[in-house]
Amino acid sequence: MSHSRFNRRQFLSSSASLAKGSLLVLSVPAIVTACREASESRQQQAAFANLGAEEAAEFTAIAARIIPSDDTPGATEAGVIYFMDNVLGDPEREPILEALRDGLRELQYQIATEYNLGFFIELDVQQQDELLRANERTAFFNTMRYLTIAGTFSLPEYGGNRDNIGYNIIGFENPGGWAPPFGFYDADYRERGE
Amino acid sequence: MAAASFPTREEVDFVVIGSGAAGGIMAKELSTAGHSVVVLEQGPHLQAADFKHDEWGYDHNFELTWGKPQGHPQTFRKSEQDTAEERDMVCGYAHNVGGSSMHFSGNFWRFRPIDFMEASVRGSVAGTNFSDWPISYEDLEPYYTKVDWEIGVSGLQGPWDPPRSREYPCPPMPIKGPDVLLERAAKGMGLNPYPAPVAILSQPHNGRPGCIHCGFCNGFGCEVNAKSSSLVTMMPLALDSGNCELRTHATVFRIETNEQGRASEVLYYDAEGNEQSQRTKAVVLCANGAETPRLLLLSASSRFPDGLANSSGFVGRNLMFNGYTSVMGLFDEPVNGYKSIPATRVIHDFYELDPALGFYGGGGIDARHPSRGTPMGFALMSGEVFGGASWGSEYKRNLAYQFSHVAAFDGHTTSLPLDSNNITLDDNVQDRWGRPAIRCTYMDHPDDLSTMQWFLDKTTELMEAAGASNVVGFYPENGQEGNVHLLGTCRMGADPDSSVIDPFHRSHDVPNLFLCDGSSLVTSGRGQPTMTIMALAFRAADYINQAAQRNEI
């Protein structure tokens, strides 16, 4: 049995506070109205509203290493890139988008110097993972991780979690409600008449 | 009956500021007694159909609570020597009809007799304002029972429960996996776990349906009206009385007093941003433990230079958050703690810690899903918490397992009232209306931190006894920097020199100004204050109605 004591910074009980590790500043606006557009562009495979094709391809590939498509679908199938395109279109989040673009350029610089290639998508998955591991502590990576997870597990109307793919990964059926017994232990409790 | 509508330039009997846990009850009790009431609420009138399982919207965009993105920044500092930093949110509360009773967890512990007289039983704590309440549990008990039945509470009466005059209207909620694990471990240690009282209906009551166990209680609005908020219990009755007008998107910025020193008008910005003023015979301020002191301080005048009702200097002081601890572990079989309500068992064996420990404190323990059962919230914390991968296939595999196999045992603990923990105005930061921002100054008392440490150790012991692996725990050992419990900032007391309101919530300084919400509390209780806020509101409303009958407002 492992024991460890987490301090507040490590243990982030509120998901909102996890933004601190990334560039993502919590901010609102016009997201709801942007949602319909995101969902339409996703359905039509239209061009992205806010991301360029090249950076979208790079971000998609990075997200695919954070939540990979393996024995179950991952960030790509969940449409995380459409979530990113949507929420980064919020004018208040423009500095975050700019910082992500800077971070991507920095990553591509590393790709050029270390692998003599131009783009993240040109690396094989081992190289991609190796590069991301080397960048694990950067604000760029943490923001990408944050957005990938948020895009996988938010309501589909924000552009990601397509067909509840994120929920399915963790076995969250999202039926709207449940009836007891809820799990093994309460079923056992009832059976034993405790 | 159609909802009432009153001209602003004619006096109404009461303006109630805020429609939350206390304000909703005030609106209902005063209007159904025949008084004309205008309720001013900052936020919108959202209904069940408006609420969704929307983690991104609520947790990340502050759509229910509001924060800096909506033009409501707050500032925080640990001590008065520090410069306060602007934050997205420090003191959290929902901005909507029903206030935070709309999005709270539903945990609904009564205070116990000891809470009202602990300073004299336990002894004072040097350097603090720890004191007895001017009322007793017996004074409040009929109103706790009134809350049980009028608001709708599920639970089970037993020897573990504080004394009660009537049984719960609804049986306890069905036990969940985390609570089975807690209960078994606790019984093995000779403790007395019992069904948690909750303001969530286990069966239909007062025309509302029972819970469908969707799991999105804490931080979310109930999608079926099973959570017993002011929004769905009190405000409909107030509006049906024909004597109550609800004005939403109404941001109060000042309570005006007349030559007699009585509250006479309430000034606010309406939805269009136009300045309005409602004339009134009396004001009932129920804006919560952060907004109530803020508004009193904003209402300073030549007659009340330090803020309205603040001759004692106690407005804004003694802010108490309650402490909290959390320990998590993984189990072999699916726990599925993300289903149904936050907690179904509670342990109150440690309500008062042994004074021989050398510090003051006490609390309760319950079992939960660590991220309130939310998929995104858990996915963001998973990995780092248990020390495994935080991205990639291993992360994804671990996450899928952990989400269903995790349980958390949480401690909810006391906070001491201190002069140095307070709400003041920050003249350097304004909200969207130009009002000075809420400035929160807070550092947990050493005894409060010791209490949290004690509860972390005890819950860790319970978690190990429950058979968990990967046990990890935490409490805010460097001090809390925000909370949703906002208590004590306009405390009740018999002595006008050391309190803001009298034992019936009438302000000592302004006879027709009543304050009732978390700010009224003298001590913090053990971490679930809403039930007590509601009971105080019913009691205060009774008194106000009687005083009005005697023409003594």
Q: What are phi and psi of B237, to 5 degrees?
A: -70, -40
Confidence grade of residue B383 (pLDDT, cut at 50, 70, 90): confident
**CB pairs below 8 Å between A and B: how many?**
206
Confidence grade of residue A1 (pLDDT, cut at 50, 70, 90): very low
Q: What are phi and psi of B482, to 5 degrees?
A: 150, 160
Closest CA to B410 of B342, B312, B361, B498: B342
Label residue B193 exposed, middle or buried (CB < 10 Å: 0-12, 13-18, 19+): buried
Task: Give per-residue pLDDT as tens, A134-153.
Answer: 999 999 999 999 999 999 99
CATH number at residue B129: 3.50.50.60
Task: Give per-residue pLDDT as tens, B156-182.
Answer: 999 999 999 999 999 999 999 999 999
Give the whole-angstrom CA distance, residue A116 versus residue B490: 66
**Host H or E run for residue B265:** strand B263-269
The encoded tokens of residue B499 equal: 């309190």
Is pLDDT at A33 greater than 80 in this prediction? no
Query: Tokens 């910025």 label which residue?
Result: B253
Q: What is the 3-state secondary structure (H, E, C) of B467-522?
A: CCEEEEEECCCCCCCCECCCECCCCECCCCCCCCECCCCEECCCCCEEECCHHHCC
CB B198 within 8 A of CB B368: no
- The DSSP 8-state label assigned to residue B173 in this structure reads P
Q: Cβ contact (<8 Å) for B400 and A169?
A: yes
Confidence grade of residue B229 (pLDDT, cut at 50, 70, 90): very high
Q: What is the pLDDT of residue B385?
A: 85
Residue of A nearest to B370 (CA): A13
Is pLDDT at B474 greater than 80 in this prediction? yes
Task: Give per-residue pLDDT as tens, B68-114.
Answer: 989 999 999 999 999 999 998 899 999 999 999 999 999 999 999 99
User: Can you state the angle between helices A53-66 and A80-87, rounded to 10 degrees?
Assistant: 120
* Average pLDDT of chain B to the nearest whole number: 97
User: Can you state the angle between helices A125-134 and A53-66, rounded to 10 degrees?
Assistant: 80
Is pLDDT at B482 greater than 90 in this prediction? yes
Is pLDDT at B319 greater than 70 in this prediction? yes
Confidence grade of residue B495 (pLDDT, cut at 50, 70, 90): very high
**In b/e form, how buried is each residue of B490-510, taking b as 16+ CB within 10 angstroms?**
bbbbeebeebbbbbbbbbbbb
| Percent of chain B's residues with pLDDT above 70 | 100
Task: Give per-residue pLDDT as tens, B323-362.
Answer: 999 999 999 999 999 999 999 999 999 999 999 999 999 9
> B69 vs chain A: nearest CA distance in angstroms?
5
> A77 vs chain B: nearest CA distance in angstroms?
14
Contacts of A4 in chain B (CB under 8 A): 387, 472
Q: What is the pLDDT of residue A45?
A: 55
Question: Is B299 inside a domain boundary?
Answer: yes
Q: Cβ contact (<8 Å) for B376 and A19?
A: no
Is pLDDT at B519 greater than 80 in this prediction? yes
Give the number of other Cβ atoms within 10 Å of residue B37's Cβ.
28
Question: Is B92 inside a domain boundary?
Answer: yes
The encoded tokens of residue A84 equal: 């990113």
Q: What is the pLDDT of residue B3?
A: 78
Within 13 Å of residue A41, how many CA atoms lie on the same side as its CB? 21
Give just the sign of the alpha carbon dihedral B328, B353, B195, B536. Answer: negative
Q: Which of B23-32, B55-64, B189-198 has the lowest mean pLDDT?
A: B55-64
CB B30 within 8 A of CB B544: yes
Q: DSSP letter string over B99-120?
A: GGGTTS--B-PPP-GGGGTHHH
Q: What is the pLDDT of residue A10?
A: 32
Strand order in B263-269's β-sheet? B251-257, B263-269, B275-279
Question: Is B164 inside a domain boundary?
Answer: no
Question: Is B18 inside a domain boundary?
Answer: yes
Q: What is the pLDDT of residue A173?
A: 83
CB B144 within 8 A of CB B529: no
Q: Cβ contact (<8 Å) for B69 and A27?
A: yes
Is pLDDT at A22 greater than 90 in this prediction? no
Q: What is the pLDDT of residue A9?
A: 31
Q: DSSP letter string over B272-299?
A: TS-EEEEEBS-EEE-S-TTHHHHHHHHT
Q: What is the pLDDT of residue B1?
A: 62
Mean pLDDT of B470-486: 96
Q: Cβ contact (<8 Å) for A155 and B374?
A: no
Q: What is the pLDDT of residue A175?
A: 80
Task: Give per-residue pLDDT as tens, B410-462.
Answer: 999 999 999 999 999 999 999 999 999 999 999 999 999 999 999 999 999 99
Indicate the pTM of the whole model: 0.94
**In b/e form, how buried is each residue of B307-333, taking b as 16+ CB within 10 angstroms?**
bbbbbbebbbbbbbbbbbbbbbbbbee
Confidence grade of residue B226 (pLDDT, cut at 50, 70, 90): very high
Q: DSSP letter string over B333-380?
A: S---TTSSSS-SEEE-TTSS--GGGSS---EEEEEE-TTTT-HHHHHH
Q: Do the strands B263-269 and B251-257 form a parallel or antiparallel pair, or are they unpaired?
A: antiparallel
Residue of B nearest to A22 (CA): B380
The encoded tokens of residue A122 equal: 């040109």
Give the number of other Cβ atoms within 10 Å of residue B305's Cβ.
9
Terminus-to-terminus CA distance in chain B, angstroms? 27
The encoded tokens of residue B311 equal: 């001759």
Confidence grade of residue B477 (pLDDT, cut at 50, 70, 90): very high
- Which residues lie closer than 8 Å to B87 by C-beta, 6 or more apart? B68, B73, B74, B75, B76, B481, B482
Q: Cβ contact (<8 Å) for B371 and A10?
A: no
CB B154 within 8 A of CB B198: yes
Confidence grade of residue A26 (pLDDT, cut at 50, 70, 90): very low
| Percent of chain B's residues with pLDDT above 90 | 97
Question: Is B163 inside a domain boundary?
Answer: no
Q: Cβ contact (<8 Å) for A183 and B469?
A: no
- Which residues lie closer than 8 Å to B248 by C-beta, 6 or more apart? B41, B43, B44, B45, B97, B271
B376/A contact by beta carbon, under 8 A: yes
Task: Give per-residue pLDDT as tens, A104-132.
Answer: 999 999 999 999 999 999 999 999 999 99
Mean pLDDT of B280-296: 98
Q: What is the pLDDT of residue B404?
A: 97
- Which residues lie closer than 8 Å to A90 by C-beta, 6 or more apart? A27, A28, A29, A30, A31, A34
Confidence grade of residue A21 (pLDDT, cut at 50, 70, 90): very low
* Average pLDDT of chain A to the nearest whole number: 82
Give the number of other Cβ atoms within 10 Å of residue B428's Cβ.
12
CB B194 within 8 A of CB B346: yes
Helix, strand, coil distribution of chain B in percent, nearest 5: 25, 20, 55
Give the whole-angstrom CA distance, residue A152 versus residue A63: 10
Mean pLDDT of B272-278: 97
B212/A contact by beta carbon, under 8 A: yes
User: Can you state the angle between helices A53-66 and A139-153, rounded to 10 degrees?
Assistant: 80
Looking at the structure of chain B, the number of domains it has is 1
Closest CA to B512 of B4, B7, B116, B12: B12
By residue range, what is the domain housing residue B59? 1-67+86-102+109-152+229-320+418-424+486-553
| A16, A149, A180 ranked by CB distance to B379: nearest | A149
> B292 vs chain A: nearest CA distance in angstroms?
26
B427/A contact by beta carbon, under 8 A: no
Mean pLDDT of B371-389: 89
Is pLDDT at A46 greater than 80 in this prediction? no
Question: Is B116 inside a domain boundary?
Answer: yes
Is pLDDT at B282 greater than 90 in this prediction? yes
Query: Tokens 């901010």 label which residue?
Result: A27
Confidence grade of residue A20 (pLDDT, cut at 50, 70, 90): very low
Which residues of B, range 405-424, sit inside 8 Å of A by Cβ? Answer: none
